[in-house]
Structure 1
Amino acid sequence: MRRTGALAALLAAVQLTAAACDWPGSAPDTPSSHPAPRDAASDRIGALFLGSVDGPRMCTASVVSSPQRNLLVTAAHCVETLDRGREDGLVFAPGFRHGRTPYGSWPLTEVTVDERWTDSEDPEYDVAFLTVAPVDGEEIEDVVGGNRLGTRQGFGLPVSVTGYPNDSEEPITCATRTDAQSPTQESFRCTGYSVGTSGSPWLTHDGTVVGVIGGYEAGGYEDAVSYSVTFDGRVAELYRRATGQT
């Protein structure tokens, strides 16, 4: 399952059982991910760690433009579950590669998720906005920039998806196209999106984030097919709450 890194050990027994099953393989024309280039776009994406950058790596998150210039977007299951409650002490390391944090680590101060996720882990609301504290007097968007939030963009969009598998010391990326999994969930095909890539942003050519890995099947049961809640009015309303506009 594409879940948070800290839960990977808890799923080991389940994964051993699943290994005996015949999960569907990737289609012959499924593209493959590759290491993400080191550039301004990838520097807005980073890894979420528990406690510090020396602690367990949890998920992927990215900076999204906001009036306060201090907001991230990720999957809700990265930061809160019924079993574990809300994760405390998370930090974000944008541009993380090979143990290095070129822009430092940024502690989370607030998590905004929908109550329908908190109450029942409804996969239709598997999105979270995270507020981070300033570091050395600067907000994170002033340091690395931010991606515009895009809602009601429809399906069939060409996107690039960049994230941090836990078995890699650098991010991977893939150019692909979104598809409808249901009227309220979308998908893309590309290999390599394993544990740790939950929360990875789906970016259009102009740097608009239109999805994050999560939602249906916690983002996907195989690394070649990934899912996201459709970014529609639900996500727009959650963003307004996170930025104090409602």
Structure 2
Amino acid sequence: MKHTTFRAAVVTAVLSLAFGLVGVPAQAAVKPFWTPEAMRAAVPMDHLVKAPAFTPQDVAKGQRAIIQSIPNGGGVWTGGGQVTHTAGRVFFVFNGQNASCSGDAVTSTNGSVVVTAGHCVKYQGTWHTQWTFVPGYDNGNAPYSQWAAKTTLTTPQWEASEDMNYDVGMAVVNPLNGQRLTDVVGAQGIAFNQPKNQSMYTFGYPAEAPYDGTKLDYCSGTTFTDFLLTKDHGMRCNMTGGSSGGPWFLSFNEGTGAGVQASVNSFGYVFLPGYMFGPYFGADAQNLYNRAQSS
């Protein structure tokens, strides 16, 4: 099966020395734009940027790493619970194309923070527009309405060089009818600087074949640390493009659907199908979160 690809920043590039976090205003009045038909037709973000395949030997020669959207597989989440309210699809416009990712509502002082991947808010020097979050998305339906972003933010490393180790993005959404996002859908916990190689659950809305982005899917298992080009978490998982930005949970309770978010779906290697990788939530992700919840 042919997989779509997108180009990562060189992992060995010098990290940005900036300590500030980068954010830009996002368009607010997006509800009329995202009709059910427009949401169904939005393509996975990973599908929009293609690059040639490469072999592991190419990396040793110093060539830039090419990564693919997360491969096939996963399974529909039928357990219900809080994750069916807090997780959702993210829609935006990238270079004139309607596109989609996944995201999750987390606890915050402003009650309005959505966590996603960095490439789901900014890619190739372009900040996405018409950015909106649809929690509990179900085949074109928005059971908890659409939440337009007031501001989108990312880490300084992703802003400067699209370093995959820091592929984390966040959005602060506007209130609706006098209510904040987490007042309506609830919130998952979030944690930083946690031990690696733990059991985790990951969720998202894969929208490339054999999936169509209509339902919430998941994977679970013991994670490992990427031994190739990043220091990310890794897990056996076959969700496809469109699941990018979906949450990775520690201490996830299948009965309640609640957990503590500690990563997001980010990428998979072309030459290593069946595995998903997500950035470690360290100090830079925590700084980003603090910036978002105070916005």
If the length of structure 1 is used for normalisation, what is the TM-score? 0.82
What is the distance in 1 between the residues matched to 2:5 and 2:204? 12
- SS of corresponding position for 1:110: strand
Are the counterparts in 1 of residues 84 and 136 from structure 2 also a CA contact under 8 Å? yes
The CA distance in 2 between the partners of 1:2 and 1:187, in whole Å, is: 18
Q: Could you tell me which residue of structure 2 aligns to residue 181 of structure 1? A: 226
Amino acid across the alignment from 1:169: T
Helix, strand or coil: the match of 1:98? coil
On the 8 A contact 1:42/1:162 being kept in 2, the answer is no
Query: 1:195 — aligned with what?
Result: 241
> Partner of 2:183 in structure 1?
142
Q: Give the match for residue 114 of structure 2.
A: 72
Task: Give the distance between the partners of 1:213 and 1:220, measured in 2 at CA.
Answer: 13
How many aligned positions are there?
224
Gap runs ≥5 in structure 1: 23-31
Give per-residue Cα distances to partners, 1:35-76, cap 9 Å, x unaligned.
11243222210001126xxx8341000001100000010110
Larger Rg: 2
Structure 2 Cα separation of the partners of residues 161 and 2 of structure 1: 21
Structure 1 residues 6 and 131: CA distance shift in structure 2, 3 A: same
Q: How do 1:74-93 and structure 2 match up within 5 A?
A: 74-83=116-125, 85-93=126-134
Which of 40, 44, 55 is 2:86 aligned to? 44
Name the CA distance, whole Å, in 2 between partners of 1:36 and 1:130: 25
SS at match of 2:193: coil
Task: Report the equivalent of 2:44.
Answer: 5
Which residue does the alignment assign to 2:161? Answer: 120
Indicate the residue corresponding to 1:208 in structure 2: 260
After superposition, the C-alpha distances for 1:202-229 in whole angstroms (9 at most, x for unaligned) are: 1122510011012xxx454466211111
SS in structure 1 opposite 2:100?
strand
* Segment drifting more, 60-69 vs 121-130: 121-130
Q: Distance in 1 between matches of 2:236 and 2:162?
A: 24
> CA RMSD of the aligned region, Å?
2.6
1:171 to 216, 232, 238: 216
Tell me the residue number matched to 1:110: 151
The Cα shift of 1:10 comes to: 4.6
Q: Deviations over 1:135-154 (max 9, x none)?
A: 11111101111111111211
Q: Choose which of 35, 52, 59 in structure 1 pairs with 2:101.
A: 59
> Which residue number corresponds to residue 25 of structure 1?
none
The residue identity in structure 2 corresponding to 1:125 is Y
Shift of 1:9: 4.5
* 1:124 CA displacement: 2.1
Residue in structure 2 matched with residue 28 of structure 1 by the alignment: none
CA 1:164–1:223 in 2, change beyond 3 Å: closer, same or farther? farther
Q: Secondary structure at the match of 1:56?
A: strand
Aligned counterparts of 2:110 and 2:231: Cα–Cα separation in 1: 29
Gaps of 5+ in 2: 7-42, 57-72, 254-258
On the 8 A contact 1:47/1:57 being kept in 2, the answer is no
| Mapped partners of 1:148, 1:220: distance in 2 | 29
Q: Secondary structure at the match of 2:129?
A: coil
Runs of 4+ in structure 1 off by over 6 angstroms are none
- In 1, Cα distance between equivalents of 2:148 and 2:214: 21
Match of 2:198 in 1: 157
SS of 2:214's partner is coil
Structure 1 residues 156-210: Cα deviation after superposition (integer angstroms, max 9, x where no partner): 221111100112311111221211115832111122x111011110112251001
Q: 1:2 Cα shift?
A: 6.4
Give 1:21 shift.
Answer: 8.0
Which amino acid letter does the alignment assign opposite residue 141 of structure 1? T
Query: Amino acid of the residue matched to residue 130 of structure 2?
Result: G
Q: State the TM-score, normalized to the length of structure 2.
A: 0.69
